[in-house]
Homo-oligomer: A and B are copies of this chain.
Amino acid sequence: MKQYIKVDGWNIIEEGFVPHYNKISESIFSLGNGRMGQRANFEEAYSGETLQGNYVAGVYYPDKTRVGWWKNGYPEYFAKVLNAANWIGIGLTIDGEELDLHKATVTEFRRVLNMQDGYLQRSFTATLASGKQVKVTATRFCSIVDDETGAIRYSITPLNFEGTLQVTSYIDGDIKNQDANYDEKFWEEVSASVQHTSAYITLKTKKTGFQVCTGMQFNIYQDGQPVALQATPVQKEKYVGVTTSVKVARQLETVIYKYAANLSSENHPVQALVNNCEIAVSKAAAKGFEKMLTEQAAAWSLKWKESDIIIEGDPAAQQGIRFNIFQLNQTYTGEDARLNIGPKGFTGEKYGGSTYWDTEAYCIPFYLATAEPQVARNLLIYRHKQLGKAIENAAKLGFSNGAALYPMVTMNGEECHNEWEITFEEIHRNAAIAFAIFNYIRYTGDSAYLAEYGLDVLIGIARFWAQRVNWSEAKGQYVMLGVTGPNEYENNVNNNWYTSTMATWCLQYTIDALQQVKETAADRYAAIIQHTSFDADKEPEKWQHVIDNMYYPVDEQLGIFLQQDGYMDKEQILVKDIDPSQRPLNQKWSWDRILRSCYIKQADVLQGLYFLEDRYDMDTLRRNFDFYEPRTVHESSLSPCVHAILAAKLGDEKRAHEFYLRTSRLDLDDYNNDTEDGLHITSMAGTWMSVVEGFAGMRVRDGQLQFTPFLPGKWQSFAFNIRFRGRILKVKVSKDSVHIENRSIQDITVLIYGEALEVPAGATVTTKQGNLVN
């Protein structure tokens, strides 16, 4: 845990240069626009500790799997987010002396991520070994207006000398993934060209054959005027650049503008890549940095209007939640159904793959509420497109008849992960994908989605569950053996309550969905029955038999659902009684010790009580919460948000706030000492959920929006915007009152503390804060 980031409502601020924090800051100050992104590396050379990272969405490499001991069924390849060409590079030499902050004395260093306008600015004064001093301000962004381009304004001013500044503006494509399994490079050069002050390079991924053309053009201004340049091309393997020199004088500002574009063969015909890249770069250069930045700020302003959360009375909380929302918006825009939300977004390469169950369990609610329905819908369609691969994946594990097992980690639908206890056994992910369909329809009312895409996926998932259980003669019930629940601190357990419960929920939802599609879209129903070879008599009958005869582990005496069959045999020592020197357990204890302990990594039974909350009464929730919460170590970033929401529901405002605090500044404060690898993007959606579903108690039931808000901690007020079925609402919770502003042209009735409240189009309605019902 570190706390070097300055608190500010709209900006992330680092003051003073601490090389030791550089990799952490490179993560925190990352930029992205959903199409491409990058870590906050320096433009000029830096020989200190750094993790260079540039990423292009959808471009991956199937790195050969590395295992200690091969198990049948492991995937051969692990699709990795690719570290791509670095387009920000601006090498600077002052009278032959290179500017490198690792070798210079750095003062007045300040790094600012301006979240309101969507850019990164870094300024510093560097004193070189020779004693020469320069003042630098570098500003850059990845455009969300034209998501294939980016721009840099790099200003450098000699403070105590005059001389010659050599500038090399380059693109370096000789990049290696830090986490390459066999230390291989994944890119090869296709073509490269340099023309005066612009340069283009096209690189191709080995095996997958993705091509990415990266181009740049630069110019230099002094005294507000362009400088005529003598440009010398520099070409090396997978590297293109241009070198030029300008005279610089004391206090004379030299400004380098660099415009770049990244075009991928996913979006352009291969033969047009270079040409289209030239057009994109030229367009950006013609528009110019200042105009691009103005457009950027305007576009971000619109995004904030949709998704901002405003907290009064707690600046650190305000900064935390905005940072989370900013990074989520930088990672995924929902415009491209081929893309998904990687756990590190564009901020690092750890974990590989792009899609985890995080998307369905944590991110969908955020995008449902803060973006057009199309955004969440695209996330669902992403899985629909990968249904064939999910069926292949299940077949590899011995399942048949169109049973589908979605992968734990994927880029293209194929499983990437290779730990047997996760790859083969953490199958609850399948349920999250079905639940997301339910959740999407519940929220949007778009029940036509079922016929169009949803039912195909549900049938595949239901078939999997029906085959995955087996009849226990001993119990006279169906059991589910050998699974790993969301609590990855128990592996290969029997009858994980969450997995078994979600499995039968899936079966029931699929039966219901079949009925609904049959009734509302008979033709489509017939087509689905046919192309899935569905046995409409026997399959639902078997499913119903499983639903009716499923075994769920419970402890009757305690009145709780059990993690798994053997849970109560474990030594029950509460988390508060663990010697703090033993935490986090995953860094201190050997794996077997963790596995046989009662400690829970992340919400498991409670995750089920969250998803299926309407099935369970408050007493049941309270008993389970009171039992499991003291045993949960929250060593997954995805855990505290669910606990926050449930604590809020139980009226435990204090604990709800405590859980919230664990997530909202996780990366800003480097809570788990791992921010340097990249940000925890998907858990950021959980932070948003803590506020909206936790503190504001937002739910959708029977097509109606409901709230049971309260004000946590020292907050004076909090406000957020919600899209709901054509309405845009602003909800503000203050000390004494709840304001709902209907910014749309349709009236709406919402439930506040269980009481109906009409909010006419355009109106703001205020009601009393506090639980009006109980």
Contact = CB atoms under 8 A, between A and B. Distances in A.
A2 interface: no
A68 B351 CA distance: 11
Interface stretch (A159-167, A326-334, A586-594, A657-665): A586-594
A590 B470 contact: no
Given A424-B591, A590-B71, A570 B492 contact: no
A398 interface: yes
A589 B419 contact: no
Contacts of A471: 571
A41 interface: no
Contacts of A475: 569
A590 B73 contact: yes
A473 interface: yes
Nearest to A69: B419
Contacts of A591: 71-73, 420, 424
Interface in A415-469: 418-421, 424-425
Contacts of A472: 568-570
A424 B73 contact: no
Contacts of A424: 590-592
A396 interface: yes
A247 interface: no
Contacts of A596: 470, 481-482
A751 B50 CA distance: 77
A69 B69 CA distance: 11
B590 A397 contact: yes
A572 B398 contact: no
A588 B72 CA distance: 7
Give the dominant DSSP class at A's interface. loop
Nearest to A555: B474
A232 interface: no
A568 B551 CA distance: 14
A504 interface: no
A524 interface: no
A762 interface: no
Given A398-B590, A587-B72, A590-B396, A492 B595 contact: yes
A418 B68 contact: yes
Contacts of A71: 590-591
Q: How large is the interface on A (under 10, 10 to 19, 20 to 34, 35 or more residues)?
A: 35 or more
B72 A569 contact: no
A569 B419 contact: no
Nearest to A73: B590
A429 to B, nearest CB: 14
A439 B421 CA distance: 37
Contact of A492 (B474, B492, B565, B569): B492
B69 A592 contact: no
B593 A397 contact: yes
Contact of A566 (B396, B398, B565, B568): B565
Interface string A46-86: 00000000000000000001111101110000000000000
Given A67-B68, A592-B424, A492 B494 contact: no
A631 to B, nearest CB: 14
A488 to B, nearest CB: 11
A11 interface: no
Contacts of A474: 568-569
Given A396-B590, A470-B569, A472-B570, 6 more contacts: A71-B590, A398-B589, A472-B569, A481-B569, A481-B596, A482-B592
Instruction: For the complex of A and B, list the 8 residue pairs with the smallest distance between their C-beta atoms, beginning with the closest.
Output: A73-B590, A424-B592, A482-B596, A474-B568, A71-B591, A472-B569, A481-B596, A67-B68
9 contacts: A66-B67, A66-B68, A67-B67, A73-B592, A398-B593, A424-B590, A424-B591, A482-B592, A565-B566
Interface of A: 65-69, 71-73, 396-398, 418-421, 424-425, 470-475, 479, 481-482, 491-494, 565-566, 568-572, 586-596
